[in-house]
Chain A
Amino acid sequence: MRHTLLFVILILLLPVSVAMQDLLPVIPVAQARIQILPVLFCFAMLALPLLPALFFALATALVQGLVLLQIQAGQSELGLTLPIVFFIAWAIVLQMSSEATHGMRWELHAFGSALVTLTLLGGEFLVLCIKRGGFPLDMSVGLRIIVPALVAPFIAPALYFMLRALVPLSPDAGPVAAQPSFKR
């Protein structure tokens, strides 16, 4: 029941996080932008059981893919396949990490948020380089990838403790129903 409530809250927060990150001002360093979506995604992956987490990863991929969609000569530049593969791969990794640490921890969420943001922006850059040609990696491009990843761990604890206050998910909050798991 708690997980269903959390899933619904997180799904509702998905469009809110996209709208919020659009409204936030640019970080003066290299015109980098603050990313909230990867932070929310990371929390969901650590807090939800495997199946809801995979559905949430799919929803995140759809939102991210559609937000960045650009149609060029009747073809979509990125499509949805790459975001889906990216977010589902991270969903599996984060689920395994959550099991390895016997439940979610705020440090893991902060660290995971930084890694997801870093790989998301780096991955987008690489895909664009392959699709459009050229590899203009310089200090400015590097900062636009690294700075949002460095900011993410500072946003993560605020979201973590706010959502934990809304939906208590600590191990002592009661038994959790059996869920699919990576454990044998």
Chain B
Amino acid sequence: MKKLQIASLAILVVAVVSFCLLEAGTLSSLQSGLLAILSPITRSGGAVKKSISGIGKDLMTLEQLQKEYDRILAENRRLRAENSGLRDLQTDNDHLRQVLGYLERSAFRLIPAAVLAHDAGTWWSMIKINRGSKDGIAVDMPVITDRGLVGKTTAVSSEVSEVVLISDENCKVAAKVEGTKEQGISGGARDTAGELHLTFLSKLADLQPGQKVYTAGVSGGIFPSGLALGTVKSFHARELDGEAILEPSADLGDLEEVYVVTGAK
């Protein structure tokens, strides 16, 4: 028995030393492995959470249902009328886009994904989505919503991927401010949850609350240019540069569906 305990202790010591010496590449593979182990639990848990949170939302009285039906019917009629008018505009728009070469620059191949969970790490902002390598997702792909940039993929298993949000301190995005020549680096901060800090701006930058901020799309970077990042809330000059506080365009605290940008069309 004593020999068995000594052998166990030796195994433990060897295991501890081996894990402490692992390289970043091996750790990344191990992380993908853990994500694969967690994937069935996270997926089923996410589905249960969605159905539970949907119970309250879906309960309506007959009167409310009738009102909702009438409202949707009226909206449907209005949208159909609008749609027939927009078809001609769409044709013109497509033609003009082709002429300007805009389509090639700004249209992306997107993979829709549902958000399964928000990571419980206190100092990191990450989410898990229900798409993985078998759907064509790889590490360092931008993730967006219809309202703007959300983050990028950091770890990918076959069925689940982890996305670091733009509100994380480690997710740096080159950004430019609408209507100015100001460019800076945006990222999150440890002491504020949800806000973005746009730094390395000129100290004399005349930024006003409400100005839009877009990705700058530096060469060799991950994020393409022109994606909405946020809106300026405030600006202050620091000792060496200017810093703007941004409200993210996408609601990062309430993400349900996102799109992974796998490339240009």
Residues on A lying within 8 angstroms of B by beta carbon are 15-16, 18-24, 26, 30-35, 51, 54-55, 58, 61-63, 66-72, 74-77, 79-81, 84, 88, 121, 124-125, 128-129, 132, 134, 136-138, 140-141, 144-145, 148, 178, 180
Contact = CB atoms under 8 A, between A and B. Distances in A.
A30 B189 contact: no
Given A128-B190, A140-B193, A70 B164 contact: yes
Given A51-B12, A84-B16, A30 B119 contact: no
Interface in B136-187: 154-155, 164, 169-170
Contacts of A19: 38, 41-42, 45, 117
Residue with the greatest number of chain A CB neighbours at <10 A, chosen from B12, B24, B128, B155: B24
B66 interface: no
8 contacts: A18-B38, A58-B19, A66-B34, A71-B27, A80-B22, A140-B192, A144-B193, A148-B122
Interface of B: 1, 5, 8-9, 12, 15-16, 19-20, 22, 24, 27-28, 30-31, 34, 37-38, 41-42, 45-46, 49, 117-124, 128, 154-155, 164, 169-170, 189-194, 253
What 7 pairs between A and B have smallest CB-CB spacing? A136-B191, A22-B117, A19-B41, A31-B193, A21-B120, A33-B120, A81-B20
A24 B12 contact: no
A15 B190 contact: no
A174 B177 CA distance: 71
A23 B34 CA distance: 17
A89 B20 CA distance: 15
B163 to A, nearest CB: 12
